[in-house]
């Protein structure tokens, strides 16, 4: 598992959470470091905006997924290049916590499924295998 932080003093906290490779973005380019490690299967993107999306997508392996769930930068708009997604068979999905967090019964099952997917992908990657496209479990949709 690869984790990124802006501050070196957070590296130990990430390792305590099970992160194998910590990238400190103030010291090195996250996308370059992730690619040097072979790329990642899933990016959780909470910064928002076109540049953050580009950085996240650049970290992904073919058939990777980026989950957009925030806009900490305050940039509420961003653009993606569809042809770039197609070239590496990438998937981008969005998840808004604002409307569903108050209703725990409604959001818990999809979140549990998403966490299960991510952990299964991380386990498969750490064992040198990758789930085949289409074999991964789909998290339930929130309507």
* 44-81 per-position pLDDT tens digit: 998 999 999 999 999 999 999 999 988 889 888 899 99
Kind of pairing between the strands at 91-94 and 60-68 = parallel
Rounded Cα gap, residues 100 and 133, in angstroms? 29
pLDDT of amino acid 100: 67
Residue by residue, DSSP assigns 19-80 as: -SEEEETTTS-HHHHHHHTT-EEEEEE-S-SHHHHHHHHHHEEEEEEEEE---TTS------
What is the rounded CA–CA span in Å between residue 85 and residue 69? 18
pTM of the full predicted structure? 0.68
Torsion of CA 127, 130, 135, 137, to 10 degrees: 60
Where residue 128 falls among pLDDT bands split at 50, 70, 90?
low
């Amino acid at each position: 598992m690869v984790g990124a932080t802006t501050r070196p003093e957070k590296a130990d906290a990430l390792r305590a959470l099970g992160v194998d490779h910590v990238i400190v973005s103030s010291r090195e380019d996250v996308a370059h470091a992730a690619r040097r490690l072979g790329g990642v299967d899933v990016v959780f993107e909470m910064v928002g905006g076109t540049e953050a999306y580009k950085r996240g997508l650049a970290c992904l392996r073919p058939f990777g997924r980026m989950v957009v769930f925030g806009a900490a930068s305050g940039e509420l708009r961003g653009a993606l290049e569809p042809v770039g997604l197609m070239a590496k068979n990438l998937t981008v999905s969005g998840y808004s916590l604002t409307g569903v967090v108050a209703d725990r019964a409604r959001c818990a099952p999809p979140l549990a499924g998403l966490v299960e997917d991510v952990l299964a992908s991380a386990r498969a990657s750490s064992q040198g295998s990758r789930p085949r496209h289409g074999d991964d479990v789909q998290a339930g949709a929130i309507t």
